[in-house]
Every structure is written in C-alpha cells, then in structure tokens.
Amino acid sequence: MRAAFPDFRLGKVLATSFTGTLSERHGDSVERIPTPERLVDWLAVSGLAVDSCTPAQLDLARELRESIHAAATAAARKDALPAAAVRVINERSAQGRAAAVLTPEGERRWRLSPASGVEDALGVIAADAISVIAGERDGRLALCASPTCRAAFFDTSQSRTRRWCDMNTCGNRQKKARFHANQRKDSSSAE
C-alpha cells in the first residue's frame, strides 16, 4: 500500500465501503482514491484486483461512487431514488463482465475479465449496490449520525440501531466530543 494516502475504511458491504472512499462529505472531505493507482489499491484490498487504471476509469469510478451514495442516502431516508444515480448504477452493472466463482473454501469471489478489469470491478460494485438498495439483504440502510460525515452504511446489527458508519472514527469522535463537553460543563458548574 502507498503510505502517502489516508487509510481505507473497509466495511463488510462492498458498495457502502466504496462510497467510504470519500469521507467527511459535510466537513473537510477526505478523498481516499485521488489517483488511478489508489483505485487499483482499493480494488485489490476489496477482492477485485485489476492490473491498471486510467484517469478516465477513475472518473467512471467516482461517478459510480457518488451515484451509489446519492441512491443509498435517498433509500435510507425513504425518499425517491434520484433518476440520474439509478441510471449510472444500472449502466455500470450492465457493462461489467465479472463472474462469480466458488473457492475450495466455499466462499464467493469474483473473476474479472483481463480485457477491461476496472469496468468489470465497477460492475460488481454496482450489482452489490443494487442488491443493498433494493432491500435484498438482511439489514437496513442508515446514515451516519456524525454531522460532518452522513455516510450511508448498511446496518446488520441485531437491533438495526447502529448510529455510526464506523465506530472507530465517527463514533469515537462523537463520544470524545460529548466527553469533553461534559467535562467543560462539570468544571464550569464547580466554580
């Protein structure tokens, strides 16, 4: 991994992990795939290894990422899905030529076509987004409670009441802020 970039925030759901490559959307945003090479890195750690990526393919990936974010946010709010986002997701899904394969360990992996690996990987991500947004999986789409983040995430907790996209970042930051606010309140009331 290239050390000059922020760490990836990987989750268990491919589509929402992909939208997490741009975080803090309502604050000082953090772009985790600023270069084509960085997209290649993210795809590799997500089980969708490709040999290379062009700037045009990075643009396609970012367009898909933002479309998934818009559609997942609308679905979490129970709003109508944005037509432009649905169009992009469907186009990327249809353009991919990946095949699901079963490993000897009984796990599903994706085999990408060597001819156009990035487009195939985007097709897998788009198909994953379709299954999540369409409600085909056990869980619910929710929005991070952090006012600077508001990322869509897929909540598979038993109670389906998770509040943070990532407890180690957004949740921890909010807990620290509450703790410090309570300390300031306690010290000012003691005076």
Which one has a higher pLDDT value, 22 or 187?
A: 22
Whether the CB-CB separation of 20 and 72 falls below 8 Å is answered with no
> What does each C-alpha distance from 109 to 11, 70, 125 come to in angstroms?
16, 27, 13
Residue type at position 96: G
Q: Could you tell me the maximum CA-CA distance found in the chain, to the nearest angstrom?
A: 70
Which candidate, 28, 39, 97, places its Cα nearest to that of 65? 39
pLDDT band of 189, cuts 50, 70, 90: low
Q: Does residue 3 carry a pLDDT above 60?
A: no
Residue type at position 6: P
Residue count of the chain, please give it.
191
**What are the strands, taking DSSP E only, across 69-107?**
99-102
Confidence at residue 146, expressed as pLDDT on a 0 to 100 scale: 83
Span 57-64, average pLDDT: 97
Residue type at position 124: V
Whether the CB-CB separation of 95 and 82 falls below 8 Å is answered with no
Question: Is the CA virtual torsion 32, 36, 38, 44 positive or negative?
Answer: positive
pTM of the model: 0.83
- Tell me the backbone φ, ψ of residue 166, rounded to 5 degrees: -150, 115
Least-confidence region, from 6-20, 32-46, 142-156, 164-178: 164-178
Confidence at residue 39, expressed as pLDDT on a 0 to 100 scale: 96
Rank 31-40, 115-124, 145-154 by mean pLDDT and report only the highest.
Answer: 31-40
Query: What region, left, alpha or beta, does residue 160 occupy, with left being phi > 0 and alpha being psi -120 to 50 degrees?
Result: left
Least-confidence region, from 24-38, 91-105, 153-167: 153-167
Retrieve residue 58's tokens.
């990075």
Q: Residue 190: how many CB atoms within 10 A of its CB?
A: 6
Distance CA 104, CA 75 (A): 36
Dihedral angle over CA of 123, 129, 134, 136, nearest 10? 90
Confidence at residue 90, expressed as pLDDT on a 0 to 100 scale: 97
Residue-wise burial string across 119-149, b where 16 or more C-beta atoms lie within 10 A, e elsewhere: bbbbbbbbbbbbebbeeeeebbbbbbebeeb
Distance CA 16, CA 22 (A): 11
